[in-house]
Amino acid sequence: MAIDLPILLRAYAAGLFPMADDRGAQAVFWVQPDKRAVLPLEGFHLSHSLRKLIRAERFAVTTDEAFDQVIALCAESAQDRPTTWINRDIEEAFVRLHRLGMAHSVECWELGDESGDSEPRLVGGLYGLAMGRAFFGESMFSRADNASKVAMAWLVARMRAGHYTLLDCQFMTSHLASLGAVEVSADDYSALLDDALVPGEGAVADWSALDSLALPADELPTAPPLPSTRTVSAPVSGQLIAQLITQTS
């Protein structure tokens, strides 16, 4: 059964999110963890190796260019994950939210060779829901070393540039902990969420704010075109991303 979007949005505003028992489940249930993983935007851990990788621009990074592909890949089984909690109803609901401009994705592409003989390949990414000054990170995937870490770095930089205050990661994992995520109590999370959703206080969040900081096209290194029928944002350099993450407010 299709998930009612107004109910879904009210659930997120109240601190709940949907999950399914597995990919083929016919129903969803609502989750409100006693401990919530959040990633403080000022506390993202940019290791020396990750900084080097970002500046080298091994991956081309985009946003909202391949949302449907990202969520489909997040829902795929993997070697360490025989099934996932993203069933068809959750996937379909987030695709609808994306069409409404509320759900977003970050994509990492592995570029083809310099001759242009091979197409760019989607090798990492994440998706989630933006409401107020909060971004509810839902899931991420990686088909190349460190691709999901690069996607997370781009997300944090985008959120910092756009005046977001809360990056909700739901459950703690060792991967998230290595990037600076921390666990907070349900009460503390509720306070962070309320602050992020209260209108009229602080700067208004703007998902596209990072795009205005992008370098002009003639200052960017050349690369094969990405497989897209539209341009959502101008390219952003890895150097800028590293600067945004490391600079203090």
Please give the pLDDT value at position 117.
Answer: 61
Q: Where are the beta strands (DSSP E) in 9-58?
A: 17-19, 29-31, 35-38
If you average pLDDT over each of 7-21, 79-93, 190-204, 219-233, which comes out highest?
A: 7-21
Domain range enclosing 145: 5-246
List b or e across 120-134, with b for residues whose CB sees 16 or more CB atoms inside 10 angstroms.
Answer: bebbbbbbbbbbbbb
Contact status, residue 35 vs residue 159, Cβ threshold 8 Å:
no
For the chain, give the percent of residues with pLDDT over 90.
72
Render pLDDT for 126-152 as a digit per residue (tens, 0 to 9).
999 999 999 999 999 999 999 999 999
Range ranked top by mean pLDDT from 49-63, 92-106, 211-225: 92-106
Structure tokens at 8: 């879904």
Overall number of domains in the chain? 1
- The partner residues of 139 in beta bridges, in order of sequence, read 127
Q: Residue 82: CB partners within 8 Å, gap ≥ 6? A: none
What is the structure's pLDDT at 230?
36
Model-level pTM? 0.87
What pLDDT score does 159 carry? 96
Q: Which residue has the higher pLDDT, 2 or 238?
A: 2
24-32: long-range pairs with CB below 8 Å, 24+: 24/83, 24/87, 25/87, 26/87, 27/1, 28/3, 28/87, 28/89, 28/90, 31/170, 32/186
Lowest mean pLDDT among 93-107, 118-132, 179-193, 224-238: 224-238
Query: Residue 223: which residues within 8 A CB-CB, separation 6 or more?
Result: 60, 111
Residue 80: half-sphere exposure toward Cβ, Cα within 13 Å? 4
Residue 199's CATH number: 3.40.630.70
